[in-house]
Amino acid sequence: MRMRLFISFMMVLLSSVVLYAQEETVQDSTAKTSLSLSERVAMRSMYQVVGDIQLNGNKKTRDFIIFREIPFKKGERIADNELDKLLELARQQIMNTLLFVDVNVYVAAKKGNVLIINVDLKERWYFFPTPYFRLVDRNFNQWWVDQKRSLDRVNYGIKFIQNNTTGRNDNLNIWLINGYTQQFTIRYDIPFIDKKLTKGFNIGFIRANQKELNYGTADNKQLFNRQESVARKFTKVDFTYSYRPDVRNRHYFKISYNDEQLSDTILQLNPNYFPGSKARFRYIDFNYQYKYYNVDYIPYPSKGFQLEANLYKRGLTKESNLWQTSVRAIYAHPLSKNAFIHLEGIGIVKLPRNDVFFNQRLLGYGLNQMRGLEYNVIDGIAGGIIKTTLHKQIFGFILRNPFPSKTHDKIPFRFFLKAYGDLGYG
């Protein structure tokens, strides 16, 4: 009965995908010939022609990366009542590349019905050799209360992040992490490698060791074991092929090789941690991910709809077999100039049913957390969460950069109050 409820929940959540279609109106040729000269002139005046699109401020970013996000091209006709909407859409889509801190798209000049459109850009800082400090617990409350603010449960190190490496919105990340987990990561991502700007890839390598491990749960609480020697070793190599046919739809096909090894102590505490009660688990996994974005700003949407759906397969043998499907949908709607409501739905189903701890994590991990229940987790094979959040901006200001900079002279700040309610079942 529970499985039927969750499958129904998943189907309802998936059915929230909105399909947009455009209809073109075709006028009869005989009607055109019957129009008077004044009517023809009036019709022409209802349209503007894009004479040129000029980019300003993109010192590193290649022009074609920006032009791809603009919903009109040089020589294209635009209806008068659509011009402002398209200019705003161009600004939003360029901002969603996350390459710029500020974008302004406007009509710079007009001669008759021919437009010159300017795109003014302020590029972000692309190189970040930043210190790394992060709690390893699922959230701050768990670290502060359950783990008594232990600094042994902190990862620290340095991250070398080079965004927009060659001007193609490609990123190179190198992480050197110590503390709770000793980790080395190198990853390179390039979204476009073909002339049509639709195909790309991501490749990465991770090597990590840790001396403390969550080996099980009891009463919806995580159980940990810490030892002097290494409790878990982990190596991963992955490759992702990406396909982005347009600005809203994205497809990702990922394959990875994983090698994990446990200490004898962990295996004694939980013989069912890995399939077959083995201390070492080597497996290949596959993942297909679909993303749909139709929002004003991807990192913090205040208007629009977005969807993420995953189909995951772990292992090639019967012993290591796991299928998982998940979906996450977000809808944001403005209520006023400074307030908006944010609705989010998450659903997960895993098959087959088994008692392997490695396959059991469900609610309380990653994005699948319920606010107010930060200290608890739920293991299982199916679950769902619905989140409702009301955002209200209370104030905002712009801070002048004390250091001279032509592109980063202003730093905007906005502060929000939030009221929320979550509902989950697993």
pLDDT digits (tens, 9 = 90+) for 131-165: 888 777 777 777 777 777 777 778 888 999 999 99
pLDDT for residue 154 = 81
Neighbours of 183 (CB within 10 A): 19
Average confidence (pLDDT) over 401-423: 80
Give me the DSSP letters along 348-416: EEEES----GGGTEEESBTTB--TT-TT--EESSEEEEEEEEEEEEEEEEEEEPSS--SS-SEEEEEEE
345 confidence band (pLDDT: 50, 70, 90)? very high
Average confidence (pLDDT) over 14-28: 39
Q: Write the Ramachandran bin of 43: left for phi over 0, alpha for psi from -120 to 50, otherwise beta.
A: alpha
Please state the domain extents for the chain.
39-123, 191-425
Amino acid at 400: R
Which range, of 145-154, 259-268, 315-324, averages the lowest pLDDT? 145-154
Average confidence (pLDDT) over 104-109: 96
Pairing label, strands 221-226, 378-379: unpaired
Taking the C-alpha atoms of residue 382 and residue 324, their distance in angstroms, rounded to an integer, is 9
405 confidence band (pLDDT: 50, 70, 90)? low
29: pLDDT strictly greater than 50: no
418 confidence band (pLDDT: 50, 70, 90)? very high
CATH class of the domain defined by 39-123: alpha beta
Amino acid at 307: L
Element (H, E) at 44: helix 37-45
Average confidence (pLDDT) over 26-44: 47
Please name the residue that has the structure tokens 């039927």: 4
pLDDT for residue 19 = 37
Find out whether 306 and 292 touch, Cβ atoms under 8 Å: yes
385: pLDDT strictly greater than 80: yes
pLDDT for residue 11 = 53
334 confidence band (pLDDT: 50, 70, 90)? very high
Within 13 Å of residue 15, how many CA atoms lie on the same side as its CB?
Answer: 6
Taking the C-alpha atoms of residue 269 and residue 266, their distance in angstroms, rounded to an integer, is 5
23: pLDDT strictly greater than 90: no
pLDDT for residue 1 = 52
195: pLDDT strictly greater than 70: yes
Which range, of 201-210, 317-326, 378-387, averages the lowest pLDDT? 317-326
Residue 104: closest CA among 55, 166, 172, 153? 55
pLDDT for residue 212 = 86
pLDDT averaged over every residue in the chain? 87
Average confidence (pLDDT) over 335-358: 93
17: pLDDT strictly greater than 50: no
277-309: pLDDT as tens digits = 899 999 999 999 999 999 999 989 999 999 999
5: pLDDT strictly greater than 60: no
38: pLDDT strictly greater than 90: no
Greater model confidence, 180 or 234: 234
- What is the percent of the chain with per-residue pLDDT over 90, rounded to a whole number? 62
34: pLDDT strictly greater than 60: no
57-97: pLDDT as tens digits = 999 999 999 999 999 999 999 999 999 999 999 999 999 99
Strand residues in 219-321 grouped as ranges (E) = 221-226, 232-243, 249-262, 280-295, 304-314
